[in-house]
Amino acid sequence: MSATEARTAALKVEDLEVAYDVRGVLRPVLRGVSFEIRPGEAYGLVGESGCGKSTTAYAAVRYLPGNGHITAGRALIGGDDVTAMGAEDLRALRASRISMVYQDPGQSLNPTIKVGKQVAEAFAVLGASKEEARERAIEALRRVRIADAERVMERYPYQLSGGMQQRAVIAMALACDPQLLILDEPTTGLDATVEAEVLDLVANLRDETGAAILLIAHNLGVVRRTCDRVGIMYAGRIVEEGIAGEVFDDPQHPYTVGLLRCLPRRGAAKSERRLDTIPGSLPLIGTPLPACVFEDRCALASAECRTALPTASHPRPDRTVFCHHVDRVAELVAAPVTAAAGEVAPGEVVLQLEDVSKTFRQGGHEVRALVGVDLELRAGETLGLVGESGSGKTTLAKAILGIHAADQGGVIRLDGETLAGLTTQRSADARRAIQIIFQNPDSALNRSKTVRSILSRALSKLAGLSGQAADDRLEKIREEVVLSPRHLDLKPRQLSGGLKQRVAIGNAFAGDPRIVVCDEPTSALDVSVQAAILNLLADLQRDEQASYIVISHDLGVVRYLSDRIAVLYLGRLMEVGDAATVFAGPHHPYTEALLSAVPSVDGDPPARIRLEGEVPSAIDVPSGCVFHTRCPRAIQGTCEASEPPLVEVEAGHMMRCHIPIDELRRLQATDAG
């Protein structure tokens, strides 16, 4: 490559190798990563945890932790070799030419300093005077679409929502007018609607500033929406690189194919198909790997994959794939999906909620987190709860579980019997009947206990088993959740995330529950692990006739597991119906906006609905239809005046909206066309 060519790239990484020093042993994390980001281009690095995507970004700006070493290769920013820079040059480079935005904006902002001062500081560092810095800070906040910048300047970070915080962080990152903006999981942990706003903002800013973007994300949809090109990473190597949309629509590396087949996409439902999984599991850092890092999990692997490093091939224009068997990848793509056992007819009504509300008292105010919810759940049926944070999904689940008592007046019935508010007041049978799978198995499993003692205790308390009967049942549960016998004597921290979640699932199923609440059951897991857990949940449900209440922000997951969907907004049910109906439409305008906000790996519809503003406070709820303040289809004079009732608009489909369903159907069909 010529020198001028190198100069044109905003970031050029050449054969970068990084190793972490763990107790004196150098463990390789990056095994020769090369890619290039042109000025103004957005490049996405995608991969599962431990693949080295963050390490790549940090190494590129020499920001590795103390035990991280660049052992080979170079990283050039605007043509300057970062790996050969002295401390002073490096500081100058970081101050003026690159910026980073991290995952959790709450952590990036100092909680004790007003937002305005923090943003102004970013300009003061660059040499602006105090007044000048303040003015430029206001300007910067406006640039990230914060409408009343002056007021936001005077706030502390905790007074801002997650989305606003992330905007402020982005404003700071843009202070130096960077050539390269590195975004490390910038929207993870944000609501779909907020995520959509932040991604729109990033796209707009890119057009305005011309900065190149390096986006690190595990969410393929986010990358597809934001990036021009994408690099798929696995075990410290880029295995496939190309134009984002093309790579996702027409993957050419076995790993990319596998990853995409793991995702519940295009309305996949558990009754139709099982999800594919990638055999084996992610390699641990430091494990010796064959020449092709994906060899031991690859269905196409042959002898040469173990010994010979795959070279770059270009099966498509603008595509680079590192695989010995590119010519056979089509076989993987064409492999049929495994059909599921088909639809299971739901049984009797197990759980009935009538007019369930929950009011919290907060500083003298009443916060109505849940308002008059009526729902039914049948045996073997899955109900998906959907809504932004603060919509009342978790409040509802907690009321059903008895973690907190619902307000007087509402009734929760299990098999026709009214349940006491709190789990401690309920009978042992009622407790056994309703269990939960938590989001984070690290928190849900006691780290001081072995898997065996965790499961045994659940068996004795929930199933009332002891001795041989308990051992037999333990064995059965172990088989059901696909753990091997030796896992029983390990402690949770000795297990991988997927295995931990299996233990947590076994724990919930110990007492043959009738209803299991799944609170974001896979959001802490990698894509390939998620597929296996979703399959397991579907299998267990069929075998045990259990009913699920699934809470997830991932609509693909909700769609896959759910038979029915309930959409909540500000504690009210906005729409309830069969999963297929709710996803197919006509939708409630809120559901429509939610569906449209979620970035899809299959690409976005041509016209997207953008929700303005944030979820209003539950203390000061809007008049009339609570959604009218953000509703793109609100009818002037009607929606703010009266709250529409939740009515059946067609068979099995309830909606709370003033707009008649035929009108919604017409509107939504027009917009889609």
- Interacting residues with another protein (CB under 8 A): 23, 257-258, 261, 274, 276-284, 287, 299-302, 328, 331-332, 335-338, 401-403, 423-424, 428, 431-432, 434-436, 438-440, 443-449, 457-458, 461-462, 482-484, 487, 490-491, 493-496, 498-499, 507, 511, 532, 535
Of 62 and 491, which CB lies nearer to another protein in the complex structure? 491
CA distance 671 to 223: 25
Of 189, 125, 199, the closest CA to residue 167 belongs to 199
Q: Least Å distance between CB 210 and another protein? A: 41
Beta carbons within 8 Å of 537's beta carbon, 6+ residues apart: 505, 518, 521, 548, 561
Rounded alpha-carbon distances, angstroms, from residue 159 to 111, 122, 144, 153, 162: 10, 20, 18, 11, 10
Burial 417-451 (b: 16+ CB within 10 A, else e): eebebebeebeeebbbbbbbbbbebeebbeeeebb
DSSP 485: G
Q: Least Å distance between CB 602 and another protein? A: 19
Of 284 and 672, which CB lies nearer to another protein in the complex structure? 284
Of 71 and 302, which CB lies nearer to another protein in the complex structure? 302
Of 48 and 643, which CB lies nearer to another protein in the complex structure? 48
What number of CA atoms fall less than 13 Å from residue 619's CA on the CB side? Answer: 6
Q: Least Å distance between CB 649 and another protein? A: 37
Q: Least Å distance between CB 516 and another protein? A: 11
Sign, CA dihedral 656-658-661-667, equals negative
Of 262 and 649, which CB lies nearer to another protein in the complex structure? 262
DSSP 255: H
Q: Least Å distance between CB 45 and another protein? A: 23
Q: Least Å distance between CB 443 and another protein? A: 4
CA distance 51 to 38: 23
Cis peptide before 586 (omega within 30 of 0): yes
Q: Least Å distance between CB 448 and another protein? A: 4
SS3 25: strand
CA distance 173 to 178: 8
CA distance 515 to 534: 17
Of 192 and 433, which CB lies nearer to another protein in the complex structure? 433
Of 36, 18, 7, 11, the closest CA to residue 320 belongs to 36
Of 107 and 427, which CB lies nearer to another protein in the complex structure? 427
CA distance 442 to 444: 6
In the numeric block, the tokens 């809007």 are attached to: 622
Q: Least Å distance between CB 437 and another protein? A: 10
Q: Least Å distance between CB 276 and another protein? A: 5
Of 284 and 607, which CB lies nearer to another protein in the complex structure? 284
Specify whether the CB–CB gap between 292 and 309 falls below 8 A.
Answer: yes
What single letter denotes the amino acid at residue 91?
R
Name 322's bridge partners.
312
122 alpha-carbon distance from chain centroid:
30
Q: Least Å distance between CB 110 and another protein? A: 22
**Where in 277-416 does DSSP place strands (E)?**
312-313, 319-322, 349-362, 365-378, 382-386, 411-414
Of 328 and 666, which CB lies nearer to another protein in the complex structure? 328
Q: Least Å distance between CB 485 and another protein? A: 9
Q: Least Å distance between CB 196 and another protein? A: 29
Q: Least Å distance between CB 140 and another protein? A: 36
Q: Least Å distance between CB 80 and another protein? A: 37
Both tokens of 280, joined, read: 């084996």
Of 193 and 277, which CB lies nearer to another protein in the complex structure? 277
Of 332 and 574, which CB lies nearer to another protein in the complex structure? 332
In the numeric block, the tokens 């709710």 are attached to: 582
Of 497, 494, 463, 493, the closest CA to residue 477 belongs to 463
Name 181's bridge partners.
99, 213
Of 83 and 496, which CB lies nearer to another protein in the complex structure? 496
Of 171 and 529, which CB lies nearer to another protein in the complex structure? 529
Of 395 and 535, which CB lies nearer to another protein in the complex structure? 535
Rounded alpha-carbon distances, angstroms, from residue 322 to 19, 296, 325, 327, 373: 22, 15, 9, 12, 53
